[in-house]
Structure 1
Amino acid sequence: MAEAKIGIIGGSGLYKMEALKDVEEVIVSTPFGSPSDAVIIGTLAGNSVAFLARHGRNHTLLPSEVPYRANIYAMKQLGVEYIISASAVGSLKAEAKPLDMVVPDQFIDRTKNRVSTFFGEGIVAHIAFADPVCSQLAKVLTDAIAALNLTDVTLHRGGTYVCMEGPAFSTKAESHLYRSWDATVIGMTNLPEAKLAREAEIAYATLALVTDYDCWHPDHDSVTVEMVIANLQRNATNAQKVIQETVRRLSENPPHSEAHSALKYAILTQLDKVSQETKQKLELLLKKYM
């Protein structure tokens, strides 16, 4: 099977990477089912990357239906060590305008129906998650955005991403509540990915693409799908430039990430007490600690 050290998960509006060369579609099977779509392996800025459309290339999966475990496990099977997650978000701060880019460093979990761990079934692990984004990967990403000097984009380094369940957008009361928490942006997908990537010992960072002001802003209409789609299309063009530059920088100087050894002290269960079935299911994650 083809391999890639860098994985890209494309969100709403980013269903493919136009700049990918020598493209190969790979159907990946995991112990957690099938990923959202075939993984596209190709060359970007001279480097092998794995691209996956989070909602499927035809946008057929609700945020709650995305097979997060299969998606991250598939990336791990392909040898991915760094994941760049491109994601459409609403802004909770006036200064984070539509078309701006935010690279958050914190998350708040408001989801209700997501499985966000590979563990269970006889094995217990508690990852450290105080800093849910890989700071080294986030720096490569923000430096790439800054270097490109995109004329219609303001970069916001750091901030908090509220991950809500969806698929409905927020009520005004919820939107004002999240603003009172000093949150920066709101989306529906990134927290399960970040937790699972950490368990899989993959460095993870979010490229949050602002499409709207959620529904709190008195001078802007409440968020509509039409508004989101119009800004998504403009965001996608800029996102591809950013991802290409980030991949180039990553390949030249791949940073060491604390995520790469996240399970070292996380597993509480003695592995010789774990059933063969569970060990086999999680072999990809456990083999270095067996």
Structure 2
Amino acid sequence: MQAKYAIIGGTGVYEAGQVSDATTSTIHTPYGDATVTIGAYAGKQVAFMARHGAGHSTPPHKIRYRANIWALKELGVEQVLATAAVGSLQLACAPGDLVLVDDVIDMTKSRVNTFFDGEPVVHVDMSDPYCGRLRRGLMAAANNLGYSMHDHGVYVCTEGPRFETKAEIQMYGQLGASVVGMTSMPEVTLAKEAQLCYATVCMVTNYAAGLSNAPLTHHEVIETMQQNVRKIRDLFYNFISEDKDLRTCACPNAVAGQVPLNNQP
């Protein structure tokens, strides 16, 4: 079964939600297996993938990012909507807020971050890592639903699974980051290499270390996400129902001319 739209659920988002006639299957890829659920919404097929697996069984540094993106590409997916639980580096982004990030800083250390780790050598353009067209559509969906959402933000991605130190958070803030999480890289890069449109809506679950006097716990992150899962799902499905499937952005040609078509992910 094919699907043009996909939702990648992060921490606290483990089910597809509003789709009907859902079926779950395992996709075999060169990078391992990926589990995907496909169902129908508004006459369109939507694929759902729980990034951390069932019951949050996979830590961020061990997620098979390449397998996940490869599987979506194999299913015919063209547009990916991702969720992420993040800590805020700015007092203006409070717990419970939605942030539609538009740039990213990669602070990961041990992850394979490309499909092209041999020949041919490919350099993908990351000047618009989170698809601008997709972001505009999600902002329109937020307006349709009357949701408040921060329209810009820089996501700094750390290795995890530990939370960050106060000194690290201070440094990230000085670098211009808005929120901190553990999963957007290399996911966004791989999506770009696979020539998919990709956007992330972040849910702020807490203030990062040093911005709050209270110690951060994973339970706090889960609790905040569970309170807002329906809101994020409604946002995504409103976009999917309204989207005209016109990819006028540069994403479909992100590696064009650098690699033969039959060698692209």
Query: Which interval holds the TM-score relative to the shorter structure?
Result: over 0.9
Q: Match of 2:28, SS?
A: coil
Structure 1 residues without counterparts, runs of 5 or longer: 272-281
Of the three residues 42, 64, 84, the one matched with 1:67 is 64
Is the Cα–Cα contact under 8 Å of residues 16 and 37 in structure 2 kept in the other structure? no
Residues 48-87 of structure 1: pairs in structure 2 closer than 5 A: 48-87=45-84
Instruction: State the alpha-carbon separation in 1 of the partners of residues 247 and 56 from structure 2.
Output: 33
Q: Match of 1:211, SS?
A: strand
Residues 160-212 of structure 1: per-residue CA shift (max 9 Å, x gap): 00000000011001111111122111110112111001110101101111100
Of the three residues 154, 157, 173, the one matched with 2:151 is 157
Is the Cα–Cα contact under 8 Å of residues 113 and 190 in structure 2 kept in the other structure? yes
**Cα distance 1:174–1:14, how it changes in 2: closer, same or farther (>3 A)?**
same
Question: Cα distance, 1:249 vs. partner?
Answer: 1.9
Name the one with the larger strand percent. Answer: 2
* Percentage identity across paired residues of the two chains: 38
Alignment size in residue pairs: 265
Residues 19-38 of structure 1: pairs in structure 2 closer than 5 A: 19-35=18-34, 38=35
Question: Cα distance, 1:253 vs. partner?
Answer: 4.7
- Per mean C-alpha deviation after superposition, the further-off stretch among 254-263 and 166-175 is 254-263
Instruction: State the alpha-carbon separation in 1 of the partners of residues 218 and 42 from structure 2.
Output: 33
RMSD between aligned alpha carbons?
A: 1.5
Of the three residues 219, 233, 244, the one matched with 1:226 is 219
Amino acid at match of 2:145: L
Structure 2 residues without counterparts, runs of 5 or longer: none
Instruction: State the alpha-carbon separation in 2 of the partners of residues 92 and 214 from structure 1.
Output: 6
- Per mean C-alpha deviation after superposition, the further-off stretch among 44-53 and 162-171 is 44-53
Aligned counterpart, 2:249: 257
Is the Cα–Cα contact under 8 Å of residues 214 and 222 in structure 1 kept in the other structure? no
Q: Which of the pair has more CA radius of gyration?
A: 1
Q: Match of 2:136, SS?
A: helix
Aligned counterpart, 1:240: 233
With structure 1 as the length reference, what TM-score do the two structures score?
0.87
Is the Cα–Cα contact under 8 Å of residues 66 and 190 in structure 2 kept in the other structure? yes
Q: Match of 1:29, SS?
A: strand
- Is 2:139 the counterpart of 1:169? no
Instruction: State the alpha-carbon separation in 2 of the partners of residues 249 and 58 from structure 1.
Output: 31
Instruction: State the alpha-carbon separation in 2 of the partners of residues 91 and 100 from structure 1.
Output: 9
Residues 127-177 of structure 1: per-residue CA shift (max 9 Å, x gap): 111221110001111211122113xxx310011000000000110011111
With structure 2 as the length reference, what TM-score do the two structures score?
0.95
Instruction: State the alpha-carbon separation in 2 of the partners of residues 175 and 70 from structure 1.
Output: 30
Residues 224-248 of structure 1: per-residue CA shift (max 9 Å, x gap): 1221121011121211111111111
Is the Cα–Cα contact under 8 Å of residues 77 and 284 in structure 1 kept in the other structure? no
